[in-house]
Amino acid sequence: MKNSMSRRQFILAAGALAGSAVLAGCGGSSTSSSSTSTSADSSSSSASSSDDSYTLVKDGTLTVVAELGFAPFEYMNDKTGDPEGFDVDVINAVADKMGLQCEYLPNQKFDTLVPLIKQGGKADVSIAAITITDEREESVDFSEPYLDSNQAIVAIKGSTETEATLNDASKQVVCQGGTTGNDWITENLPNATCVPVDDVTAALTGVQTGLYNAMVVDLPVAKYMLTNSFSDLDIIEEIATGEQYGIAISKDNPNLTKAVNKALEDMKSDGTMDSIETKWFGSTI
Amino acid sequence: MSHMHENAMTRGESHHTRRVPALALALSAVLVLVATLALLPVSALAMTTNKATARPNEDGGSGVIGAMDTRLTWEGTVGDDEEVSSITLSLPEGATFDHASTRITVLDGLNRTSIDGTATSSGNSVDVQFSEGIPAGSLVRLEITNMQFPADGGDYVVSGSYTTADGQSHALDDSAAISVIANTPLQAAVSWLDAQPWVAAWNSNPFLGMFFKPQLLLTSFASLFPGWLVCLGIVLVCYPFAIVLGLAFAMLKTSRHKVLRAIAICYINLLRGTPLFLQIYIMFFGLPMVGINIDNNVLGVIVMAVNSSAYLAEIFRAGIQSIPQGQYEAAASLGMNGFQTMTSIILPQTVRRVIPTVTSDFITSYKDTSLLSSVGVMELMMFSKNLTTTTGNITPYMAAAIYYLIVTLPLIKVVGIIENNIARSERGGGPRPKRRAVAGASQESEEAKEELATSAEVSHTEEAKPATDVFAALSAPFVSHPTVDLGGVADGE
């Protein structure tokens, strides 16, 4: 009697252990919480939480892909060449909350990010000031929004261009390919020629030299670039779009989205998010 | 109601007095209209419609096509003294909001206010109930995805109404018209492809669907066409300039003067030693910075011409130097000066020797116009890139590849034919032209010398003849018969 009891207890404990081991094998995260729970309810909780497991390209590492030319969200440090910026801090904090290391893949063109996440196998998440749109949501899942943003029209200082004058066949309006700025031009300036280029610097240089009449780009980026390197350009119009950035994650990995959302929520409640916002924008947003 | 009454009264009146009340009616209508117009500025307190736009849904184009899913974006600003609890938007008959999903954005200035809502669509109108009242002065944006405009094209305005928190309903100003086009034959073909089971099966293969999606291939072809013309235009305009420049630098490089040679060597080595991409960047971003503003396409032509000229200079130089010394000596023995030797003896022989290499360079230049896409010249790759970014599919690049091949494959074939002809004539094969047959020379070198003498004499004596000679020399590679350089070879060895 006593023997059978202890055997049952043993089996229960072994089951719990095996459950958490399986979880550790395929997950790599959130195991700490389940393994600390008591053996009695652990078997049930590990059974349900094994459904929470997600896959990672590299165990113990959150592999991130981004277009690293979008200051202040992500850009390469002049000296070290390491990625830094608001998004970089956010994803590092997210990885930290999930008990993972964060690793960036080499710089990729912006319009390849969503297809890359959709196709899977190379990167787990993409955080690159990607606006959550219905169209993109057809290809990938997004985390809860982590930042609100707007668009801006940038032109050379003293320019008399307005949204109305730009909507003309003789005007070339540049943008970064595949961005919401690109969409905004095709929808709101149908008569102008929309020129999508690969990176923001090339676009702004083009506006500076008069190659293009204006650029449409995310407002925080416009502000940052104009203060730091393109002082002869001006924001001629702020377009209130109220778009929201999200972290793109493959649709095949819904539990990773959940885990990222959990981490984002924790960051909002414990003040991590506020301190990152203050670091990059001078105040919370 | 009062109008009805008046109308009824009018009908009761006798014929001769009927006109007066009718006039009064018209007058009162005008008054009402004027009063409404006068009241409008006052009612600016009410919600205003900022704009309504539709996302282009034409595959590979920029038009908004009716009866096809698109996204309507409507923007309005809440008036100063009100709080809006719901908005109803409607489009003319034929439009449909069924299956549409609505994204709500409420902004206070540039800051997002988190207000949610539910949208219920019924036919050509959509009703959005907000979870809480939208405060005064806020900007409201409704993005209605997967709605459709009426099938017949035309200009459509978005009308509608809104209710305030106190339950009152007001009409919304009509938006500016959105122009919608009727279905195009191309789009009809795409729709037909969409419905085909084999197309679905084809696209279900990830590779085929990504690289050779039939629908996209079709639309890409149509929308890449202007880009193809730009490509062809640039290379066709730039090439004559490149040839002239190249020839000039070839002459400089073979010149006896050290300085001229140095200039040519610098020019050629700099241009051949750096990537064209870099040259394009320098020209497109550098020139405007020093105050030179040139049209993009013209600048493209200039960059391509300058770049090609360096390669052509080397090709021509090699061609000129491959002509045996004996040709110069023979020309000198006939009393020709340097210029005459060059134009009537050396260059005509060079031309046919360099034609295959020049054609190859032409092909390279034609393909290299693709690099101009990086600086906003609207050529093939630019169009493909635009399409790829909007569709997230690689197929437009495949369509571009076909456009490149249309030109390059025949040219490659031509190069092959010319090379064969030249090789055959260098071996001494091929048919003999009649003129030579009359001469009846058995020794090839003699024959060649005779020819050389003849052509030299001709250019000496008759002023009108050289043009036809040059033409003959130029067309020689295409008509397959040995001419002077056959002798040249025999002479040189």
Q: Walk across the sheet containing B84-90 and list its strands.
A: B117-122, B125-134, B84-90, B159-164, B169-172
Spatial distance between the Cα atoms of A152 and A181, rounded to a whole number of angstroms:
8
What domains can you pick out in chain A, each with its CATH number? 2-51 (no CATH), 61-148+244-281 (3.40.190.10), 149-243 (3.40.190.10)
**By the 8 A CB rule, do A140 and A114 touch?**
yes
Cβ pairs A/B, distance under 8 A: 82
Average pLDDT, chain B: 81
Least confident of A56-60, B230-234, B284-288, B345-349: B284-288
* CB < 8 Å to B385, chain A: 177, 196
Quick check: A210 and B288 CB within 8 A? Answer: yes
Q: Does the CA dihedral B357-B358-B363-B366 come out positive or negative?
A: positive
Give the gap in angstroms from C-alpha B233 to the nearest C-alpha of chain A: 19
Give the gap in angstroms from C-alpha A11 to the nearest C-alpha of chain B: 46
Which of the four pLDDT bands, split at 50, 70 and 90, describes residue A36?
very low
Quick check: A186 and B105 CB within 8 A? Answer: no
Give the gap in angstroms from C-alpha A168 to the nearest C-alpha of chain B: 14
Which of the four pLDDT bands, split at 50, 70 and 90, describes residue B477?
low
Stated as kind and residue range, the H or E segment containing A195 is: strand A193-197
pLDDT value, residue B21:
60
* CB < 8 Å to B101, chain A: 134
Spatial distance between the Cα atoms of A241 and B139, rounded to a whole number of angstroms:
10
Quick check: A196 and B385 CB within 8 A? Answer: yes
A138 → chain B, closest CA residue? B392
Report yes or no: B427 at the A interface, CB cutoff 8 Å: no
* Mutation target vs A (from B106, B112, B175, B293; most A CBs, 10 A cutoff): B112
Q: pLDDT tens digits, residue range B39-86?
A: 444 444 688 898 899 988 887 677 888 888 899 999 999 988 888 999
* CB < 8 Å to B78, chain A: none
Q: pLDDT tens digits, residue range B421-457?
A: 888 877 776 665 555 444 444 454 554 454 554 444 4
**By the 8 A CB rule, do A120 and A126 touch?**
no
pTM value is: 0.68
- Asked if pLDDT for residue B188 goes beyond 80, the answer is yes
Give the gap in angstroms from C-alpha B382 to the nearest C-alpha of chain A: 8
Query: Where are chain B's structural domains?
Result: 1-29, 45-180, 220-430+442-492
Give the gap in angstroms from C-alpha B101 to the nearest C-alpha of chain A: 9
Smallest Cβ–Cβ distance between A240 and the set B51, B109, B389 belongs to B109
Q: Does the CA dihedral B129-B130-B131-B134 come out positive or negative?
A: negative
Fold: same for B45-180 and B220-430+442-492: no
| CATH fold for the domain made of B45-180 | Immunoglobulin-like (2.60.40)
- Asked if pLDDT for residue A177 goes beyond 90, the answer is no
Quick check: A186 and B56 CB within 8 A? Answer: yes
For A271, residues 6+ apart whose C-beta sits below 8 A from its C-beta are none
Report yes or no: B112 at the A interface, CB cutoff 8 Å: yes
Taking residues A49-60, report their average pLDDT.
81
Quote the Cα angle for A192-A195-A199, to 5°.
145
Which of the four pLDDT bands, split at 50, 70 and 90, describes residue B308?
very high
For B47, residues 6+ apart whose C-beta sits below 8 A from its C-beta are B76, B77, B78, B79, B82, B84, B162, B170, B172
Report yes or no: B289 at the A interface, CB cutoff 8 Å: yes
- Asked if pLDDT for residue A186 goes beyond 60, the answer is yes
pLDDT value, residue A48:
41
Which of the four pLDDT bands, split at 50, 70 and 90, describes residue B19?
low
- Asked if pLDDT for residue A273 goes beyond 90, the answer is yes
- Asked if pLDDT for residue A40 goes beyond 60, the answer is no
Quick check: B53 and A205 CB within 8 A? Answer: no
Q: pLDDT tens digits, residue range A133-144?
A: 988 898 899 999
| CATH fold for the domain made of B220-430+442-492 | MetI-like fold (1.10.3720)
Q: Which residues of A touch B (CB under 8 A)?
A: 111, 114-115, 134, 139, 148, 150, 172, 174, 177-178, 182-183, 186-188, 190, 193-198, 202, 205-206, 209-212, 219, 238, 240-244
- Asked if pLDDT for residue B304 goes beyond 90, the answer is yes
Q: pLDDT tens digits, residue range A85-96?
A: 999 999 999 999
Helix (H, G, I), strand (E, B) or coil at A242: strand
Report yes or no: B290 at the A interface, CB cutoff 8 Å: no
- Asked if pLDDT for residue B488 goes beyond 90, the answer is no
pLDDT value, residue A109:
87
pLDDT value, residue A151:
95
Spatial distance between the Cα atoms of A169 and A163, rounded to a whole number of angstroms:
13
pLDDT value, residue A79:
87
Amino acid (1-letter code) at residue A284: T
* Mutation target vs A (from B55, B69, B381, B390; most A CBs, 10 A cutoff): B390
Taking residues B202-223, report their average pLDDT.
88
Quick check: A240 and B56 CB within 8 A? Answer: no
Query: pLDDT exceeding 70 applies to what percent of chain B?
Result: 77
Report yes or no: B220 at the A interface, CB cutoff 8 Å: no
A264 token code pair = 């984002």
pLDDT value, residue B205:
86
The DSSP letter of residue B204 is H
Quick check: B285 and A206 CB within 8 A? Answer: yes
Beta bridge partners of B52: B74
Q: Which residue has the higher pLDDT, A282 or B312?
A: B312
Spatial distance between the Cα atoms of B75 and B49, rounded to a whole number of angstroms:
6
Interface of B with A in 82-101 (CB under 8 A): 101
Q: Quick one: B318 exposed, middle or buried, by C-beta within 10 A (0-12, 13-18, 19+)?
A: middle
Give the gap in angstroms from C-alpha B105 to the nearest C-alpha of chain A: 7
Q: Which residue has the higher pLDDT, B156 or B488?
A: B156
For B364, residues 6+ apart whose C-beta sits below 8 A from its C-beta are B311
Spatial distance between the Cα atoms of A23 and A17, rounded to a whole number of angstroms:
10
How many other β-carbons are positioned within 10 Å of the β-carbon of residue A164? Answer: 8
* CB < 8 Å to B139, chain A: 240, 242
Q: How far is CA B163 from CA A275, B90, B173, B307, in A?
A: 41, 15, 14, 66
- Asked if pLDDT for residue B479 goes beyond 80, the answer is no
Give the gap in angstroms from C-alpha B198 to the nearest C-alpha of chain A: 23
Give the gap in angstroms from C-alpha B436 to the nearest C-alpha of chain A: 59
Q: How far is CA A125 from CA A31, A97, A120, B184, B410, in A?
A: 20, 15, 9, 40, 46
Q: What number is the ipTM of this complex?
A: 0.73
pLDDT value, residue A101:
93
pLDDT value, residue A35:
38
Interface of B with A in 36-55 (CB under 8 A): 51, 53-55
Report yes or no: B223 at the A interface, CB cutoff 8 Å: no
pLDDT value, residue A129:
95
Smallest Cβ–Cβ distance between B376 and the set A114, A187, A211 belongs to A211
A207 token code pair = 């506006």
Closest CA to B374 of B362, B384, B360, B359: B384
Q: pLDDT tens digits, residue range B319-375?
A: 999 999 999 999 999 999 988 998 899 988 898 889 889 999 999 999 999 999 888
Quick check: A209 and B285 CB within 8 A? Answer: yes
Q: Which residue has the higher pLDDT, B25 or B452?
A: B25
pLDDT value, residue B460:
47
* CB < 8 Å to A242, chain B: 105-107, 110-112, 139, 141
Which of the four pLDDT bands, split at 50, 70 and 90, describes residue A7?
low
* CB < 8 Å to A148, chain B: 111-112
